[in-house]
C-alpha cells in the first residue's frame, strides 16, 4: 500500500538540515500548513535536534518551541505527532492536540515516557536506538544488524505493552542513521520486511540523511539548492521503496517530491492507501 507522508516541522536552531530556518513559531506553523497543502498526511513537530553529536535541550525550552506550534496545527485540522524524548513534553503535546508521540529513543531516554503516554490514548513511535546522539556511533557494532534491530524493537514493544500501550497503538521505526553507519543502514532497509513482521506499523526516516549523501557522491553534502534537490529526489525514491517493503509511513522534509513519487508508484500498482487511523492487530 502507499505509505503515509509525515512532513517534518523542525522548531530547532540546529537540526540535520533545516538549520533553524523555522525557529520562529509563526514560521513553523506556516511551514506545517504548507506541508499539509503539499499533501502531508501527518506533521511531525520537534524541538530538539537528534543529529549526531547534538546536545540535549531542557524540556521547558523544548515545550516553549513545540507546544504553540502543535496547538495551532492541530486546531487547523492537521494530524500531528510530537518528536520528543521527554515524557513531560509528550503529555503536554497530546494535551495540545498531538495524536502520536514520536520517541526516537523508543521510550529508553526518559524512563517515565511509556507510562506517561499510556493513559493519553495517543499512538507511539518506538524507534530503534542505542544511546544518545552525542555518542551514538560508539554503539554501531552488530553481528546481524537486522536481527538485532528487530529483537531490540520487539523488547520495546513488550515494554510498551507492560506500561499499558497495546501493540495496535505502536509504530516501530528502524532508526536510520541512529547508531548505524553507512552500509549498515542499507542492510536494515533491505531487511525492512523483518521489522514489519513484528506486527506494528512501520515508519521509515531517510530524509536527506547521510546514507543518501554518501551514496550520491561528493557535491550532495553541501547545503545549496542543487544538493538539497538531489537529497530530496533520493528521499522520494527511498520513500517509494519503503512503501513497497511494507512501511506505513515515511518521514520527510520535502513532502511535495515524495508525494509526487508516491503518486506515480500508486498509479503503477493501482492498490490501496494507508490511513492515519489504520491500526495493526
Ligand atoms: N530522524 C530524525 C528525527 N526524528 N524520528 C523518527 N521516528 N525516525 C527518524 O528517522 C527520525 C526521527 C533526524 O532527522 P531530522 O533532524 O532531519 O528531522
Per-residue cell: 240: 517509494
73-103 pLDDT tens trace: 999 999 999 999 999 999 999 999 999 999 9
pTM: 0.92
* Ligand 1 centroid – CA 202 distance (Å): 14
220-252 pLDDT tens trace: 555 555 688 899 999 999 999 999 999 999 999
Q: Is the CB of 212 under 6 A from ligand 1?
A: no
Residue 46 confidence (pLDDT) above 90? yes
197-226 pLDDT tens trace: 999 999 999 999 999 989 988 765 555 556
- Tell me which residue has its CA closest to atom 10 in ligand 1: 205
Site to probe by mutation for ligand 1, drawn from 45, 104, 106, 206 as the one with most ligand atoms within 8 Å of Cβ, is 104
Question: Residue 65 carries which DSSP code?
Answer: H
Contact 212, 164 (CB under 8 A): no
How far from the centroid of its chain's Cα atoms is residue 191's Cα? 18
Q: Which residues contact 180 (CB under 8 A, 6 or more apart)?
A: 140, 145, 188
CA distance 236 to 227: 14
- Domain ranges, ordered by start, for the chain: 4-269
Contact 134, 51 (CB under 8 A): no
Q: What is the largest CA-CA distance in the chain?
A: 48
- Indicate which residues carry an active-site annotation: 209, 251
Alpha-carbon dihedral 140, 146, 147, 149, rounded to 10 degrees: 60
Top-level class of domain 4-269: alpha beta
CA distance 117 to 130: 21
101-111 pLDDT tens trace: 999 999 999 99
- Tell me which residue has its CA closest to atom 5 in ligand 1: 104
CA distance 3 to 175: 17
Amino acid at each position: 500500500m502507499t505509505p503515509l507522508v509525515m512532513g517534518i516541522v523542525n522548531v530547532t536552531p540546529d537540526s540535520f538540515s533545516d538549520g533553524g530556518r523555522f525557529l520562529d513559531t509563526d514560521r513553523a506553523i506556516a511551514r506545517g500548513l504548507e506541508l499539509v497543502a503539499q499533501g502531508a498526511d501527518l506533521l511531525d513537530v520537534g524541538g530538539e535536534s537528534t543529529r549526531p553529536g547534538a546536545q540535549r535541550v531542557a524540556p521547558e525550552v523544548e515545550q516553549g518551541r513545540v507546544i504553540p506550534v502543535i496547538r495551532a496545527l492541530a486546531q487547523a485540522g492537521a494530524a500531528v505527532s510530537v518528536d520528543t524524548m521527554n515524557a513531560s513534553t509528550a503529555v503536554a503535546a497530546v494535551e495540545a492536540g498531538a495524536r502520536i508521540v514520536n520517541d526516537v529513543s523508543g521510550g529508553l531516554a526518559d524512563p517515565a515516557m511509556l507510562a506517561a503516554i499510556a493513559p493519553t490514548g495517543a499512538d507511539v513511535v518506538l524507534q530503534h536506538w542505542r544511546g544518545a546522539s552525542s555518542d551514538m556511533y560508539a554503539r554501531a557494532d552488530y553481528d546481524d544488524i537486522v536481527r538485532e534491530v528487530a529483537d531490540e524493537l520487539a523488547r520495546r514493544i513488550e515494554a510498551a505493552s507492560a506500561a499499558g500501550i497495546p501493540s495496535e497503538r505502536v509504530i516501530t521505526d528502524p532508526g536510520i542513521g541512529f547508531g548505524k553507519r553507512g552500509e549498515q543502514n542499507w542492510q536494515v532497509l533491505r531487511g525492512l520486511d523483518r521489522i514489519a513482521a513484528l506486527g506494528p506499523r512501520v515508519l521509515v526516516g531517510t530524509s536527506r540523511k547521510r546514507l543518501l549523501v554518501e551514496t550520491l557522491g561528493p557535491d550532495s553534502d553541501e547545503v545549496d539548492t542543487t544538493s538539497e534537490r538531489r537529497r530530496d529526489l533520493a528521499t522520494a525514491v527511498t520513500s517509494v521503496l519503503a512503501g513497497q517493503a511494507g512501511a506505513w509511513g515515511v518521514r520527510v522534509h520535502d513532502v511535495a517530491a515524495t508525494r509526487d513519487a508516491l503518486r506515480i508508484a500508486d498509479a503503477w500498482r493501482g492498490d490501496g492507501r494507508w490511513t492515519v487511523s489504520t491500526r495493526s492487530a
